[in-house]
Every structure is written in structure tokens, then in C-alpha cells.
Structure 1
Amino acid sequence: MAPKSKTAVTTIWKTADHHSPLSSFFSAVHPLSEGAIRCIDQNSHLLEVRKGKYLIKPSQEEPELFFILEGVVRGFIREEGKEITTWINEEHDVVGSIRSLGLKIPTKEYVQAIEHCSLVSIRYEIIEHLYENFPETNVVGRKLLEENYRGAEERAYICRIPSAEKKYKRFMDTNPGLINRVSLKYIASYLNMTNETLSRVRRRFPSSSAG
């Protein structure tokens, strides 16, 4: 039996198939058994989060993962009084403070909605239960981890490009849906450049309107 949260309330999913969007997403990654789908349906929950609100803060005791239905979310750390954006994700991405999962240590990362967001949340404790009891979910986890690793590799690559113009061009090419949705200050922080430099660079790309 899946572990229960003290405050858990089972969500009645008002979707066409009456399943959680998270179980539908996982099933599209790799087919799931009825038992795994039932477990996800019963232990995932719909959240509406206003722009600027936090999904995760440092020292959060119960780690969670979030599937973005609508909206944009960023991760950031605070260093010497500055916020440093470490990633930006949009619809149909699974997000959370990945570095602390499975280690049982507090995260140093904040996860924040930068648009009004609709999300599905699930506790990582439930993910571990799925891994232990439904072998096919390990395939889902592996494939999502591979995707996360590719994203981390892209972030490592883009921050090492010396030219500000080439950095922004790379961001445009790999994140076309974010260009005119995300505040300039977050993109500048992610690309490790000043707001002024980013504004100057954007003027060279007519397709980039002011954010």
C-alpha cells in the first residue's frame, strides 16, 4: 500500500479519461500497469499557483515533483544577495529540486512560478513506492532522468559560450516558446549576463520583442 500523507485528500480527476494528467504523461513515456496508474491517480493532486509564489523552498522536509499543465516555472539559488536562475521550464515538463531527491538532505534551491501555473504534484515518497512495487515505472524514471541529464548538459554548454549574442541565439533556438513569455531579468540571470547586455543583444534579433 502506498504511504499516506497526513493531509492527503484523493483528487477526483475531471479529465476525459478520469485519470491524473501525470499518470497519462507517464503512460505516454512507457506503458504502465493498472496498479501503477491507480496509485498515481490516488496520490497526485491538482495545484493552482499564483505568479511569484514558491513551489519549493530550501529546507522543505517532504520533497515533491510537479508536472506543469499550464505556466512557466524557474529554479534559482541565492548567492551573495543575488538570485541566480538555474533553469526555466514550461508546459509538459516535470520539475522539482532534483539534486536532493533520494539523498534526504535539504535543497538549496527555490522553485518559483513565474506565470500563474496549473500543476499536478506528487510526493517523492510515492515515486519511490512506485519504483519498488511496479517495475515498469523504473523505465519511466530512467527515461525522464535521461531527459533531465540532456537538459543539464545543455545548461552547462550554454553557460560556457563566451559570446553573449551566441548565448542568446542558442537560448532562442532551444527554447522558442519562452522568448516572449519570460521576464528579461530571469533570462539574463540564466545566461549569466546583465540585463543591459541582454537588452542590447535582443535588439539584433527582430523576432524578440521586449519581455
Structure 2
Amino acid sequence: MTKKVSATGKRVWKTPDGHSPIAILFNSIYPVPKEAIDLIDEQTFPVQVARGKFLVKPGDTEPHLYLVLKGVIRAYIKEDGKEITTWINEENEIVTSIRNLGLTISSPEYLQAIENSSLIAMPYALVEHLYEHFLEANIVGRKILEDNYRGAEERAYICRIASAEKKYQHFIKTRPGLANRISLKYIASYLNMTIETLSRVRSRLAE
């Protein structure tokens, strides 16, 4: 996904309607004014991240929101040298480093592509500007926040399931597209179990 500059100097996205995919997403959630669409078209930009590379790393202090067009992104933190996966998101989902969102401080969180990924980036300064100047943007933001809050509640719930087998069953029920798509080590990290335990669970369920 790319954008180009027209003869008039205006950036035009190579989408069916000529707008940024984030503008299209916002407008699908709640109609936003043309002025807001124009700002999104102008200030959002495409990002390509190769498998294994980082979208965000500790030390980054300029937060962005990202819309995943293609690929899978995971977030993790390090604790005593161990990687703890906090979430895994795929296409058509918004990702960002939650821990420093809206703050000018570094986050300890890593956002890593676990597939070759295409995303659209939106500076958080633009998000704040839209909130301040367009009521409709606040409605969009609230609905996106509600969706992310439900995702956070889901992650909190799955961490509290004691049975490894029930954990994995819940994962494949709620995230069926990821179960056979990504490496077991990422699923095991997300479910807070060893790869060996996850492999045994998958073997039992396959019998």
C-alpha cells in the first residue's frame, strides 16, 4: 500500500477511493468530516516491517497507532531475560505500544513482526489533534478503545485459566486464524506455558 503526490501536490492513496486505509476505517466506524479525512490522508503513511524486525522498541518516545494491512504483530516485554508475549494481532487490527500511549516516555515493550507485515502508521499527535477539533473523532476513538478494552479483558481472562488444555482450547476458539499460522513458541509465550507443554496439549487434542 503506497501513496503518491498528484499534479496539484496533494497526496493520493492507491486505494479504490483514494484515501488512507485509516481514514476508510475511521469513516466505517463513524462518519467523520472531510477536513479530518484530509488530515489523515496527509499525515498517515505506509510502513513495511520484515519478519523478525521491530515496529517499536524500548527507547522510542514518539508513539504511533498502526493499522495492520497484512501480517502479524506481537508485543512482548522482557523479564529476567525471558520474553513474555502480551498480545498478538493480525490483519485489520489497530496496534500500538499501550504503555506509553499519550506520554512522552519510553515504553519497555517491543512490537515485533512475526510475518512480513504491511501497516499504515498514524502519529499519535494527529490522534490528539483530531480529538480536540472533531467531535466525531472522539466517537471513533471511543469505539476503538472499547474494542481494545475487550481484547485486554480477554487476555486477562486467558491468563487466569489454570488448565493448559483449556487455555489452548480457548485460544483456538477466539483466535482460530492464528492457531496454525504462527510459531508455537509465540503461542506458548502468550499462554504462559512451555513449548513442550503446548506440544503435548496439541497432540492430545489431535487424537
- Shorter-chain TM band: over 0.9
Structure 2 length-normalised TM: 0.93
Q: Which residue number in structure 1 is paired with residue 102 of structure 2?
A: 102
Match of 1:190 in 2: 190
Provide the secondary structure at the position in 2 that maps to 1:205.
helix
Q: Deviations over 1:109-140 (max 9, x none)?
A: 00011000010001101111111111100011
Distance 1:103 1:20 in 2: 25
Query: Runs of 5+ in structure 2 lacking a partner?
Result: 1-9
The answer for the alignment partner of 2:62 in structure 1 is 62
| Equivalence for 2:134 | 134
The superposition leaves residues 155-181 of structure 1 with CA deviations (integer Å, 9 ceiling, x where unpaired) of 000010000000000000000010111
Residue identity opposite 2:78 in structure 1: R
**Corresponding position: 1:163 with 2:158:** no
CA contact (8 A) 1:11 1:44 kept: no
For residues 21-100 of structure 1, the aligned pairs below 5 Å read 21-100=21-100
- Give percent identity, aligned residues only: 59
Conserved in 1, the CA contact under 8 Å of 2:51 and 2:116? yes
- Root-mean-square deviation (CA, aligned residues, Å) is 1.5
> What is the aligned length?
199
Distance in 1, matches of 2:48 and 2:101, equals 23
List per-residue Cα deviations over 1:8-29 (Å, max 9, x = no partner). xx85311110000110011111
Deviation string 1:24-62 (CA, Å, 9 cap, x unpaired) is 011111111101111100000011111011000112021
Answering whether residue 130 of structure 2 is matched by residue 117 of structure 1, we say: no
The structure with the greater share of residues assigned to helix is 2
The Cα offsets for residues 45-88 of structure 1, whole Å up to 9 and x where unpaired, read as 01111101100011202111110000000000011011110000
* Aligned residue in 2 for 1:3: none
